[in-house]
Amino acid sequence: MKTPARLLSLEQFDKDLPRLRQSAALLERGAPREGWVRSLRQSLGMSMRSFSRRIGFKEPASVKELERNERAGTITLQTLKRAAEALDADLVYAIVPRKALRETVRARAREVARARVAPIAKSMALEAQGLTAAQIDRQIRELARELEQKPETLWR
């Protein structure tokens, strides 16, 4: 059976995932308590006033708000990008999956398959045509394998 393009891209992403997770862990462990913007600004010896001019703020007090928002996690990516430019730095942004995408798809396919098979098995049992637990499990496994081939159907 030919592997769908979506699954190939998923597998390619999974191949890079260990390095991405390692980088994310390093960044998380190294994150300064006062936030990246303030830490970089102070390390460069840049005053709030100077930074304010470089980023295009009218008031240096806006820098304090920006730094507070970064620490609180309420800053926008656009503002962070502007701050990085003003600090002659790059903004690195990533969403790092907790586990391999293939595992996520496999687990979701099994969940969807279980939900689809359960009412059928229940109906058959009510009609005295019940399936054994092994037969139900086999049906779930087979349906899950089919669903994995079309991951776009798993998230409806």
pLDDT at residue 34 greater than cutoff 90: yes
When pLDDT is cut at 50, 70 and 90, the band that residue 100 belongs to is: very high
Specify the pLDDT at position 7. Answer: 77
What pLDDT shows up at residue 129?
A: 66
> Closest Cα partner for 103 from 20, 14, 15?
14
Instruction: Please say whether the beta carbons of 44 and 87 come within 8 A.
Output: yes
What DSSP letter does each residue of 67-130 carry, written as one string?
A: HHHHHHT---HHHHHHHHHHTT---------SS-HHHHHHHHHHHHHHHHHHHHHHHHHHTT-P
State pLDDT tens for residues 79-97. Answer: 999 999 999 999 999 999 9
The pLDDT mean for the chain works out to: 90
**What predicted TM-score, i.e. pTM, was given to this entire model?**
0.74
Give mean pLDDT, residues 59-75: 95
Q: How confident is the model at residue 109 (pLDDT cuts 50, 70, 90)?
A: very high
> What sign results for the dihedral spanned by CA atoms 3, 7, 13, 16?
negative
Burial environment of residue 80 by CB neighbours within 10 A (0 to 12, 13 to 18, 19 or more): middle
